[in-house]
Amino acid sequence: MARRAIVAANWKMNGDLALVDAMTAGLKTVALQDNVNVVICPSAPYLSSLVTQANVQSLNSAIAVGAQNVSEHESGAYTGEVSTQMLNELSVKFVIIGHSERRSYYKETSTQVAHKVNAALSAGLTPILCIGESEEERATEQTETVLASQLQPVIDEVGIEKFIDVVIAYEPVWAIGTGKTASSEMAQETHQFIRQFLAQANESVAAKVPLLYGGSVNASNCEELFAQADIDGGLIGGASLHVEQFKTICSAAKGK
């Protein structure tokens, strides 16, 4: 089974209805290579509009809609939270879980992230599990220890076999929105470690898990990054707010 490539747009708390319209219209003309999926993750208020516009533009086969977060709870008194059932009702297919901003600003722990991944998988959603180290952790050679500590609770919670339905996004915290980007060699080395770490539990599953790179990916550096053996696409932040630049990034992705 070939490993699919995924380009996921994380709009964060940006964008508006005009961007929903412009992006769906623009993606109608993008040339995707075989075995490539595109996922757009807007803020929650725009999920329904994006699903509707994707239908209008007949993008369903190539473009999926994702959420930026989900609750680990099925329902209840959790003001402001969104459940997996709600996302399913909107035809959302993917959900970003464990982004460094959620871990840092909202104090999400790796245990809570594992619960969210479990909830998403149980509901038939595809989690985009984010992991990554800080600049200080990279400088003190703790990257592999940190990534392992973020992955292991999820493996313990759902079992390695379930990772066949998980996408992992490696985002070095020091490269998110800073303009700094890991060199292609550095990114590949870290992605290779992630795949080898998963392979310790199950080699067959590890070989099939899409690994995305995130951290100031843009139209200029995407091709070199995506050419690396263990980089299967990207989780794109700022560049995903610009239609033409995002189209270029999508076109550079290729399945392996």
Catalytic site residue from 72, 101, 137, 171: 171
Mark out the alpha helices in the chain (DSSP H runs): 17-27, 47-56, 84-89, 100-105, 110-122, 135-139, 143-158, 184-199, 203-208, 222-226, 243-252
191 is catalytic: no
Q: Which two tokens stand for residue 143?
A: 């990257």
Q: Which of 99, 115, 191, 242 is catalytic?
A: 99
**Dihedral angle at the C-alpha atoms of 225, 227, 230, 234, nearest 10 degrees?**
50
Alpha-carbon span 11 to 21, nearest angstrom: 14
Q: Is 161 a catalytic residue?
A: no
CA 2 vs. chain centroid, Å, equals 19
- Cα–Cα dist 168/2, whole Å: 17
Q: In whole angstroms, give the CA distance from residue 97 to residue 112.
A: 10
The phi, psi pair for 244, rounded to 5°, reads: -65, -40
Q: CA–CA separation, 105 vs 13, rounded Å? A: 14
Number of neighbours of residue 17 by Cβ within 10 angstroms: 13
Catalytic residue numbers read 99, 171
